A and B are shown apart, each in its own frame.
Chain A
Amino acid sequence: MTQHAPCILLIEDDFQIRRVVRNALERQGMRVEEATACASGLEQAGQVKPELVVLDLGLPDRDGIDFITDFRLWSQAPILILTARFSEAEKILTLDAGADDYLTKPFGIGELLARVRALLRRQASSMEPALVEFGETVVDLSRHQVLRAGAPMHLTATEYRLLAVLIANQGRVMTHQQLVRAAWGNNTQHGSTYLRVYVGRLRQKLERDPARPAHLQTEIGVGYRFVL
């Protein structure tokens, strides 16, 4: 990212948190624009056209969800939410509204940078590669084939569909509902228990240590995230 400095819009009302986040991002050679409220954030976003938005949910003027909804009307740039613990319902709402990922306060710098990079990478590579490699698994998306340690691994059609959805949304947190709809269609009766069972099977087939998955990660109470 040396040749191009991605522009990041940081919307956060607390000065100290703004300072920490800005410093961390700027050290990575990113350009950071700041706003302290939803309204000014939206205005700012219109001017600078950020490649990523870091949004605090506890803003004084408006609900963060309003920002996401408005922003999504004209931009697909990823949104990273900063939120408090105990608010799984709120996290799900923001993700369903169009946010891509969240960080629970307090968060480490390393974690923040990892999330930001993953989202930017995802943004940059909008064209999906035919081959996705993670761990000892290779997924050939063009031929619907999965290899593990060089040997073909059989996935059922549902398992494959679920995996494809997760890969297509890599780096993002997908809520249970989003995944169920993507894998089984809008009219499905299946609940999150069904989804959990299928993710469990995928892990058994694809993860080196299914109990401590490195790629098919659980966001407890919210959903799943696929990371390379």
Chain B
Amino acid sequence: MDNNRPSVAGHCASDLRRGRALGLGFALLACAATTVLGLGLRHWLDGPNIVMMFLLNVVLVARYLGQSAATLSAVLCVAAFDFFFVPPHLSFAVADLQYLLTFGVMLFVSLLIGHLTIGLRRSALLAEDKAAQTAELFALASTLGRALTREDVARAITVVQRALPDITCRLYALDDHEHLQPEGAAGALSDLEAMAAGHVMRDNKLMLTADLTADAHPLMILPLWGSTRMRGVLMADMATGSADLMRHRAMLEAIAALFAASLERLHFVAVAQQLQMEAAAERLRNSILAAVSHDIRTPLTALFGTADALMLDAAQAPEALRENIFAIHEQSMRLNGLVGNLLELARLHTGNFQLRKEWQPLEEVVGSSLKLLDAALARHRIELHLPRDLPLLEFDAVLLERVLCNLIDNAIRHAPPGSAIAITAALEKDHVEICVGNEGARIPEAQLTQLFEMFSPDTHAKPHSGLGLSICKTIMTAHAGSISARNQANGVRICVALPLGTPPELPRDPEDPPGAEAGPAV
């Protein structure tokens, strides 16, 4: 058979030669048969009709036996016509010279018809091939379209195998750690292959090479490029040769694009599922938080109120009863603080938590914190040093109040009654430092940094403080500030730093006397 079916590959050269020889033999036979038939019919048929029979012979040979057979057949037919049908018969001599024209036209027409017939046949075969390929691509696309898992995608390789039986394809997809993982029946990559695949993915360019295997099989490595990023590689190898492999390049590239698209789709499906789960978890967390907040607070409010009411009567009660009442009151207060801190921490760590920053004087929030802790501060002296020239600062007042309350509360908790709690603020180059110091036990240096972790060693001994300071850290971090603790001569000082910014220009009040600056210090 001739090389007239370009898309069907895989025949050895000797096969080809045998097929061609056979074709030529058949062409010879066909010509002989036509001649015999023509001789049999020559009493009934004129010369032109005999010519027609020969032309028909050429068409059929061209249709079924290919190019060389058609050419041979054209020449043979003209020769046979001359020899057997043109007077003088059984001789190549020509009596009537106009037959030369007949021969010329006959030869030309035979060759032309042969050529056209072959072209037609080739196009038909090509179209058939293309249709088959398209059908396989459709099958692949629909298989991949239905794929819900990586395994489904890997199974689609069998569809490719059906479309391209001579080619072995292997699929490798990138995992979350950017490593190529074999999919389906594909074996692990050799080192050389992995290196080549790395190149292909980096350059996003197909590679054709025969150097990667011991038996020099040609191997085509195709990048699987999704619309956003690299998804893996497709490896195609073929026994016959790289030229054959190159002929399938378009098909292989189409297949690679399909695999890349489905791997990408699977990736985004996974991402969407993940996000959906996270959103559901977040909703659940918020509703639990709200429910817990309400359900715990309600009995706590009753408990605290009852204890408080008992306190009002405690003055007349006997000593032992009074002690019990104090204990209930104190413990309910402590429980309240603990629950408050837990809920606050949970709230701060939800995803939708937002700072409500505004420009405001620091003095105000210090004042309101001290007022909130009025009762707790009764047994301590407050030493307050706020410079009068502090600029406006930008912060969430409710949260900064929480920070200061926790710091002051912590300071009281670790200091003996009657000692001083120092609250100071200082203007530094790019921040304002607010410190709360007490006169109490120092903290081992090694524990100073752990103080703000959610469950620091300190939490064992004094359950309240660890959570409170960890809230302070969370809030300060949200403000792009910081928190630190250091020992001083006779106690501990915890400082928070709040970054300075550019406060807004406040419009001057027209009724104000000139020179009165809009600032907290007058």
Separation of A110 and B311 alpha carbons in the complex (Å): 10
Give a binary string over B466-494; 1 marks a CB under 8 Å from any A CB, 0 the rest: 00000000000000000000000000000
Is A212 within 8 A of B371, CB to CB? yes
Judge whether A204 is part of the interface by a CB distance below 8 angstroms.
yes
Question: Known contacts being A86-B343, A193-B506, A204-B521, is A107 close to B305, with CB within 8 Å?
Answer: yes
B299, CB-defined interface residue at 8 Å:
yes
A33 within 8 A of B: no
Instruction: Determine whether B12 belongs to the interface, using a CB cutoff of 8 Å to chain A.
Output: no
| Residues of A with C-beta under 8 A to B340 | 85
User: When the two chains form their complex, are residues B507 and A212 in contact, meaning their CB atoms are under 8 A apart?
Assistant: no
**Of residues 374 to 420 in B, which have CB atoms within 8 Å of A's CB atoms?**
375, 382, 384, 386, 392, 397-398, 401
Contact B367 A211 (CB under 8 A): yes
CB distance from B479 to the nearest CB of A (A): 15
Give Cα A17 to B519, complex, Å. 44
Residues of A with C-beta under 8 A to B305:
17, 20-21, 24, 106-109, 112
Tell me if B301 and A211 are in contact (CB < 8 A). no
Do most interface residues of chain B lie in helix, strand or loop, or is the interface mixed?
helix
Indicate if the CB atoms of B297 and A84 lie closer than 8 Å. yes
Residues in A with CB closer than 8 Å to B360 are 192-193, 196
B398 A84 Cβ-Cβ under 8 A: no
Nearest chain B CB to A80 CB, angstrom units:
14
B298 in contact (CB, < 8 A): yes
Provide the bound-state CA to CA distance between A211 and B519, in Å: 15
A190 touches B507 (CB 8 A): yes
Cβ contacts A to B, 16 pairs, < 8 Å: A16-B306, A106-B300, A108-B304, A109-B311, A158-B511, A189-B507, A193-B392, A197-B519, A200-B361, A204-B521, A211-B386, A217-B368, A218-B365, A218-B368, A220-B397, A220-B401
Check if A185 is an interface residue, CB within 8 A of chain B. Answer: no
**CA gap between A194 and B311 in the complex, in Å:** 42
Q: A88-B398, A200-B363, A204-B521 are in contact. Are A156 and B513 (CB under 8 A)?
A: yes
With the chains together, A155 CA to B227 CA distance in Å?
68
Q: Chain B residues with Cβ under 8 A from A86's Cβ?
A: 293, 343-344, 347
- Of chain A, the residue at the smallest CB distance from B300 is A106
**A44-76: contact bitstring with B at CB < 8 Å (1 yes, 0 no)?**
000000000000001000000000000000000
Q: Do A109 and B312 form a contact, CB below 8 Å, given A190-B507, A192-B358, A193-B360?
A: yes
Given A24-B309, A84-B297, A220-B368; A106-B397 close (CB under 8 Å): no
20 extra A-B contacts, CB within 8 A, seeds A86-B344, A199-B364? A20-B306, A21-B305, A84-B294, A105-B301, A109-B305, A156-B509, A156-B511, A156-B512, A189-B507, A190-B507, A193-B392, A197-B392, A200-B364, A204-B521, A211-B370, A211-B386, A212-B384, A218-B371, A220-B364, A220-B401
Q: In chain A, what residue has the closest Cβ to B299?
A: A16
Whether B302 is near chain A, meaning CB under 8 Å from some CB there, is yes
> B308 interface residue, CB < 8 Å from A?
yes
A193 in contact with B358 given A23-B309, A109-B312, A204-B521 (CB within 8 Å): yes
Most chain B beta-carbon contacts within 10 A, residue among A157, A201, A219: A201
Convert B511-522 into 0s and 1s, putting 1 for each residue whose CB lies closer than 8 angstroms to a CB of A: 111001011111
The answer to whether A197 and B298 touch across the interface, beta carbons within 8 angstroms, is no
- Chain B, 266-305, CB within 8 A of any chain A CB: 293-294, 297-305
Question: Is B444 close to A, CB under 8 A?
Answer: no
Q: Mark B492-509, 1 if CB is under 8 A from A, else 0.
A: 000000000000101101
Residues in B neighbouring A108, C-beta threshold 8 A: 304-305, 308, 375
Kindly state whether residue A6 has any CB partner on chain B within 8 Å.
no
Contact residues on B (Cβ < 8 Å of other chain), bracket: 35 or more
Inter-chain contact total with CB atoms closer than 8 Å: 136
Residues of A within 8 A of B371 (CB): 212, 217-218
Nearest CB of chain A from residue B10's CB, rounded to whole Å: 75
B347 cross-chain contacts in A, Cβ below 8 A: 86
How long is the Cα–Cα vector from A191 to B506 in the complex, in angstroms?
A: 10
Shortest distance between the CB of B308 and any CB in chain A (Å): 4
Known interface pairs A84-B293, A204-B521; A158-B509 also in contact (CB < 8 Å): yes
Chain A interfacial positions (CB closer than 8 Å to B): 14, 16-17, 19-21, 23-24, 27, 58, 84-86, 88, 105-110, 112, 156-158, 189-194, 196-197, 199-201, 203-205, 210-213, 217-221
Indicate whether B359 reaches chain A with its CB closer than 8 angstroms.
yes
Within 8 Å CB of A24, what residues of B? 305, 309
Min Cβ gap B363→A in Å is: 5
Residue B336 interfacial (CB < 8 Å): yes
> Which of A14, A156, A194, A196 is B507 in contact with, Cβ under 8 Å?
A194
- Does chain A have a CB within 8 A of B80? no
- The CA-CA distance from A14 to B340 in the complex, in Å, is 20
A190 CA / B386 CA spacing, docked (Å):
27
B399 to A, closest residue via Cβ: A221
B384 close to A211 (CB less than 8 A): yes
> Are B509 and A109 neighbours in the complex by a CB distance under 8 Å?
no
Residue of B nearest to A112 (CB): B305
Bits for B300-324, please: 1 = Cβ < 8 Å to A, else 0: 1111111011011000000000000
Chain B: minimal CB distance from A15 (Å): 8
Smallest CB gap from B398: residue in A: A221
For the complex, give the distance between the alpha carbons of A86 and B396 in Å: 13
Q: Complex Cα distance A17/B386, Å?
A: 40
Query: A224: nearest residue on chain B (CB-CB)?
Result: B364
- How many Å lie between the Cα of A27 and that of B512 in the bound state? 50
User: What is the bound-complex CA distance between A203 and B384, given in angstroms?
Assistant: 16
Please tell me if B366 contacts chain A, counting CB pairs below 8 Å: yes
**Chain A residue with minimal CB distance to B309?**
A109
Contacts A109-B312, A156-B512 given: A197-B297 contact, CB under 8 Å? no
Residues of B within 8 A of A158 (CB): 509, 511-512
Q: B364 and A196: CB pair below 8 A?
A: yes
Complex CA gap A205/B361 in Å reads 16
Q: Which of these, A16, A17, A156, A217, contacts B516 with CB under 8 Å?
A: A156
Taking the closest CB of chain B, its distance from the CB of A60, in whole angstroms, is 11
Closest Cβ of chain A to B520, distance in Å, is: 4
Of the candidates A20, A106, A190, A193, the one whose C-beta lies within 8 Å of that of B359 is: A193
Q: Cβ of A23: which chain B residues have Cβ within 8 Å of it?
A: 309
Q: Which residues of B contact A58 (CB under 8 A)?
A: 294
Q: Are B507 and A205 neighbours in the complex by a CB distance under 8 Å?
A: no
Which residues of chain A are within 8 angstroms of B303 by Cβ–Cβ distance? 106
User: Knowing A200-B364, A200-B520, A211-B367 touch, does A109 contact B358 (C-beta < 8 A)?
Assistant: no
Is B363 within 8 A of A210, CB to CB?
Answer: yes
Which residues of chain B are within 8 angstroms of A219 by Cβ–Cβ distance?
A: 368
